[in-house]
Amino acid sequence: LKVVVSSTSLELGIDIGYIDLVILISSPKSVSRALQRIGRSGHQLHEKSKGRMIVVNRDDLVECSLILKNAMEGKIDRINIPHNCLDVLAQHIYGIAIEGRQNIKHIYHVVRQAMPYHNLAWEDYEEVLRYLAGEYSRLEQRYVYAKIWLDWDANTFGKRGKLARVLYSTNVGTIADRSHAKVKCNGQVIGSIDGDFMERLHKGDTFVLGGRVYRFKYARGMTVTVVPSGSTPTIPSWVSEQLPLSYDIGVSIQNFRAIMDWKLSTNVSEEDIIDYVREYLYVDDYAAASIYYYFLEQYLYSEIPSRNKLLVEYYTGFGGRKFVVFHCLYGRRVNDALSRAVAYIIAQRYHRDVMISIDDNGFYLSSDSKIGGVEAFEELNSENLREILVKSIDKTETLASRFRDCANRSLMILRRYKGREKSVGKQQVTGKILLNFVKEIDDHFAILEEARREVIEDYMDIHHAKEVLRRIEEGKTVISTINTDIPTPFAFNLVSRGYLDVLKYEERAEFIRRMHKAILNKIREKKKN
């Protein structure tokens, strides 16, 4: 039996004629990814592509079932195309300038013929030209020099310097450099973490590395400094290349939850519901039964959240720690936007930092004392979300890292110069210095604005987050609150991630069994009362 075990890297553009079967471990997170991966098989004449999904828990089972349903019915996720990326625009303008003298207005109309730039504002185009022409003269103090000449009176621009073509050809590209960050404790290197994981860390966060828990202090370049910690991890283990759940699949799951809530509340028989689940989701008897009992436990223990009902769960954990769990199954990107905005409002109102943990099924806020989670959430609306998010990311590693990427693409930071290559660590240090410098010059500098746009629109998903808030404003989604002693079945995977990270595999299985038994006991007590 010939088997290839791979990451997501083999899903794109691979044409191996003798692959018979693709096995997906856990949810592929979207219909398009599932079809793309399964489509690597069956490339021989008259063969069909075949795939199997192996689920790892009940949330995964529901996800994979809805992905299967949408794939069977030909419903593919909508494509999200970034618009008006100013760093890429700077790169293209520089390339155009190298070809010779250009007309400013003509090139503006040429650029707008490209779909991603069809609504590019003249002001943004002008700002990029001014940056490339060196009109922000103070940038020369940080070794950022003019790359084009600009004549507004003659309405023309062109390249500057004899090395323009070499600089362009050796630094052009949009894929950002990535590497692992070294982790130091008491001056000693104890391991490494993914650069993207480092972006998520805030001062005081705790995480597991090599089976031990450490608290994050600060990061410089690609080096992270930590100290040992005896507390439970606040940041779950890094999921590496696992992609976020698509918003469309999240909505499909939410709609399915609403259907199940209705069927359970109208006393439809167990047999009829299981038959319905099997036919609706195209799954077998075992999967249909598992899904039914999962929803039944949630229904009997508390409430079933859906697109029409945002459930907020107040739970007190070990050591009296307070959790506010938001059951908003819209994917990690939407939940990242909503959770950061809520945490920022709490920090401003109560002068208290809260711990955040997110996944595709929702997010929670946690603190040692009481949190006004719902009150803070109700202050959010579709109009103020962008402003709050921009403020919340201002001093984060996420913005610093994305600014470095934008500075690379816009040629503010040259990765290669005269045969020498700048390491990712040096790029990161240069990027942070340049970020602070740019904020002093102009807080609305084009490349800084692009970095902010990339964080809240590409890294997060502000557009769909606004859609969620608009549904609440219009009364289409209601907010319901509950108090629990044990996390509800739908909240269990989210809340327990930090605890499970410090347990061995056998201990994890036993922990899950005990928690499940405790929930069943609570349900029995409710029935008796």
* 242 close to 29: Cβ distance less than 8 angstroms: yes
**pLDDT average, residue stretch 100-129:** 96
Q: How many CB atoms lie within 10 A of CB 79?
A: 6
* In a domain? residue 492: no
For residues 468 and 367, state if they share a domain. yes
For residues 217 and 192, state if they share a domain. yes
**pLDDT average, residue stretch 454-478:** 95
For residues 379 and 338, state if they share a domain. yes
* pLDDT at residue 289 in the model: 96
* In a domain? residue 302: no
* pLDDT at residue 203 in the model: 76
For residues 248 and 200, state if they share a domain. no
Provide the token pair at 387: 């402003």
Concatenating the DSSP letter of every residue in 147-194 gives -EEEETTTTEEEE-STTHHHHHHHH--SPPP--EEEEEETTEEEEEEE
**pLDDT average, residue stretch 473-481:** 95
For residues 90 and 166, state if they share a domain. yes
For residues 13 and 162, state if they share a domain. no
**pLDDT average, residue stretch 45-63:** 91
> pLDDT tens-digit profile of 298-354?
999 999 999 999 999 998 877 677 889 999 999 999 999 999 999 999 988 877 778
Q: What percent of the chain has pLDDT over 70?
A: 95
What domain count does the chain have?
4
Sign of the C-alpha dihedral computed for residues 77, 455, 199 and 338 taken in this order: negative
* pLDDT at residue 117 in the model: 97
- Which range of residues forms the domain containing residue 353? 311-389+462-484
**pLDDT average, residue stretch 145-173:** 93
> pLDDT tens-digit profile of 188-200?
898 888 777 787 7
For residues 254 and 220, state if they share a domain. no
pTM summary value: 0.88
From 158, 174, 190, the end of a domain falls on 174
Element at 300 (helix H, strand E): helix 285-301
Contacts of 36 (CB under 8 A, 6+ apart): 11, 12
* In a domain? residue 155: yes
**pLDDT average, residue stretch 459-482:** 95
How far is C-alpha 357 from the geometric centre of its chain's CA atoms?
A: 12
Can you say whether residue 7 is alpha, beta or left, with left for phi > 0 and alpha for psi between -120 and 50 degrees? beta
* In a domain? residue 141: yes
* pLDDT at residue 239 in the model: 53
**pLDDT average, residue stretch 491-509:** 71
For residues 374 and 479, state if they share a domain. yes
Query: How many Å apart are CA 335 and CA 332, to the nearest integer?
Result: 5
**pLDDT average, residue stretch 145-149:** 94
* In a domain? residue 424: no
For residues 212 and 252, state if they share a domain. no
From 174, 191, 217, the end of a domain falls on 174
* In a domain? residue 347: yes
> pLDDT tens-digit profile of 379-424?
999 999 999 999 999 988 889 889 999 999 999 999 888 888 888 8
Provide the token pair at 315: 């739970």
For residues 189 and 43, state if they share a domain. no
For residues 345 and 473, state if they share a domain. yes
> pLDDT tens-digit profile of 84-107?
999 999 999 999 999 999 999 999
How far is C-alpha 90 from the geometric centre of its chain's CA atoms?
A: 26
How far is C-alpha 188 from the geometric centre of its chain's CA atoms?
A: 31
> pLDDT tens-digit profile of 281-292?
999 999 999 999
* In a domain? residue 500: no
Three-state DSSP string of 24-85? EECCCCCHHHHHHHHCCCCCCCCCCCCEEEECCCHHHHHHHHHHHHHHHCCCCCCCCCCCCC
For residues 165 and 251, state if they share a domain. no
* 343 close to 356: Cβ distance less than 8 angstroms: yes
Give the residue among 149, 119, 144, 109 at the shortest CA–CA distance from 410. 144
Which segments within 291-390 are labelled E, that is strand?
A: 309-316, 322-327, 355-359, 362-367
More confident of the two residues 24 and 203:
24
* In a domain? residue 505: no
